[in-house]
Amino acid sequence: MKPFKRQLAALGVAAAVSAGALYLSTPLFAEQDAHTAAGPKVAAAGAAQGGFVDLTESQAQQVKVQPVDTRTFVALSEAVGSIAFNDDKTVPVFPSYPGKINAIFTDVGQDVSKGAVLYSVDSPDLLQAESTLISAAGLRDLTQRALQRAQQLFGVQGISEKDLQQAISDQQGAEGAYKAARDAVRIFGKTDAQINQIVLERRVDASLSVRSPIGGRVVTRNASPGLLAQPGTPPAPFTVADISTMWMIANVAESDVPALRLGQAVQVTLMAYPGRTFQGKITNIGAAVDPSTHRVAVRSEIRDPQHALRPGMLANFRIQTGTAGNSPAVPADSVVREGDGTMTVWVTGDGRRFYRRTITLGLQQDGVCQILSGIQAGERVAAEGAIFLSHAYDTGTH
């Protein structure tokens, strides 16, 4: 019997050793605080919320760890809109008088300065005004010579004083008619040098130059040689826009409208220019809500000194609707949405053992998440590889 008892004792010892080995090799997500290097606070918090995951050295190298820092978060409203020309600085350019277009001097997309000639028309009204000017200039010369003769004759008692006064009156009337004729031609845009040339050569020039009233870019053209252009009759032969500023028309949710006000600063981003932000301000808030979408049209004036924006571009509208505040922040990749809808992060003290921590999220801006509760600034979290840790915990593998 003694040899048999000794065999049972030996088997008992072996079983105890095996149990100890099994205990040491239990899954790495066991809910206990045996890893003292992680720190008692981290371990306790992790154990209270679901346990931990241990990583091997090679696995730990695949998980990026960084401390929780503090960021400033601002409540923002966002909406999608489109770019348009600034109608307050867009001018249709009509001729002052009707006439047929005879020449085109610019085209769509070209930048023009204020006063630049866009096109010219043959104007019957200009022809009549120049003809009147030539007649008035001839009559002025005639009456001026007649006055000179009358003054000479009066000096030798060749005419009466009444005849001299009549000559003076005729000359003054002709001078006034001549000045009025010059002014009439000047209204058509002729310079004094051009008017003097018409008088000197006694030759009419019915070509009326139509100039741009502002500096900007030609945005539309409906003109072609031979087309009859009428003042104020659309479409305008040319349209010029000052593109130093553009409009963005955005449809904002009605719930955000109470936080908006005229003059409020806005930030605009476009798919065409990733990473670039345009600055502007709100200039108009719609008076009515669209009953179908429950959104309000909000117009903003966007500064564009480099002329990068084009009408019709899709743009994102962002505006501050609340006060700024400082909160703990983690990268968006640190946050894992669990199956029950809770949000978690993985906290570590040594980079090898990670504890799952339930958190409350706030705002998410520029790839960074605001943390309202659950962790504090200075703690270390898995910035990359958090989803791997959750999978290892849920499946019992790593």
Beta strands in 155-258 (DSSP E): 207-211, 216-221, 228-229, 238-241, 245-253
Q: How far is CA 88 from each of CA 245, 297, 317, 395, rounded to the nearest angstrom?
A: 10, 17, 21, 63
Task: For strands 314-331 and 69-85, give the pairing.
Answer: antiparallel
User: For position 199, what pLDDT does the model report?
Assistant: 92
Could you tell me which of 330, 396, 325 has the C-alpha nearest to residue 359?
330
User: For position 25, what pLDDT does the model report?
Assistant: 37
* Residue 146 pLDDT grade (very low, low, confident, very high; cuts 50, 70, 90): very high
Query: Alpha-carbon distance 317 to 381, whole Å?
Result: 33
Lowest mean pLDDT: which of 53-62, 188-197, 265-274?
A: 53-62
How large is the average pLDDT for residues 8-28? 36
Query: Alpha-carbon distance 319 to 75, whole Å?
Result: 8
* Residue 396 pLDDT grade (very low, low, confident, very high; cuts 50, 70, 90): low
User: Residue 393 pLDDT > 50, yes or no?
Assistant: yes
Q: What is the dihedral of CA 61, 67, 68, 71, to 10 degrees?
A: -110
User: Residue 33 pLDDT > 70, yes or no?
Assistant: no
Query: Alpha-carbon distance 373 to 379, whole Å?
Result: 13
* Residue 225 pLDDT grade (very low, low, confident, very high; cuts 50, 70, 90): very high
How large is the average pLDDT for residues 67-90? 89
Q: Percentage of the chain surpassing pLDDT 70?
A: 86
How large is the average pLDDT for residues 230-257? 93
User: For position 237, what pLDDT does the model report?
Assistant: 96
SS3 state of residue 171:
helix
Q: How far is CA 216 from each of CA 65, 162, 307, rounded to the nearest angstrom?
A: 53, 61, 10
User: Residue 371 pLDDT > 50, yes or no?
Assistant: yes
Query: Alpha-carbon distance 230 to 211, whole Å?
Result: 15
Query: Alpha-carbon distance 281 to 90, whole Å?
Result: 19
User: Residue 17 pLDDT > 60, yes or no?
Assistant: no
Strand (E) or helix (H) holding 387: helix 386-395
pTM as predicted: 0.60
User: For position 21, what pLDDT does the model report?
Assistant: 36
* Model pLDDT for residues 75-84, shown as the tens digit of each residue: 778 889 999 9
Task: For strands 380-384 and 69-85, give the pairing.
Answer: unpaired
* Model pLDDT for residues 173-210, shown as the tens digit of each residue: 999 999 999 999 998 888 899 999 999 999 998 888 89
User: For position 42, what pLDDT does the model report?
Assistant: 35
Query: Token pair of 106, please?
Result: 């610019």
User: For position 29, what pLDDT does the model report?
Assistant: 36
User: Residue 216 pLDDT > 80, yes or no?
Assistant: yes
The backbone region for 175, taken as left when phi is positive above 0, alpha when psi lies in -120 to 50, beta otherwise, is alpha
Query: Alpha-carbon distance 380 to 347, whole Å?
Result: 6
Query: Alpha-carbon distance 119 to 210, whole Å?
Result: 6
For 377, counting Cβ atoms within 10 Å of its Cβ (0-12 exposed, 13-18 middle, 19+ buried), the class is: middle
What are the backbone angles phi and psi of residue 88, rounded to the nearest 5°? -70, -15
User: For position 397, what pLDDT does the model report?
Assistant: 56
**What domains can be seen in the chain, in order of their start residue?**
29-73+325-395 (2.40.420.20), 77-87+242-324 (2.40.30.170), 93-123+206-241 (2.40.50.100), 125-202 (1.10.287)
Q: Are 384 and 330 in contact (CB under 8 A)?
A: no
* Residue 390 pLDDT grade (very low, low, confident, very high; cuts 50, 70, 90): confident
How large is the average pLDDT for residues 300-326? 88
CA atoms within 13 A on the CB side of 37: 7
For 109, counting Cβ atoms within 10 Å of its Cβ (0-12 exposed, 13-18 middle, 19+ buried), the class is: exposed
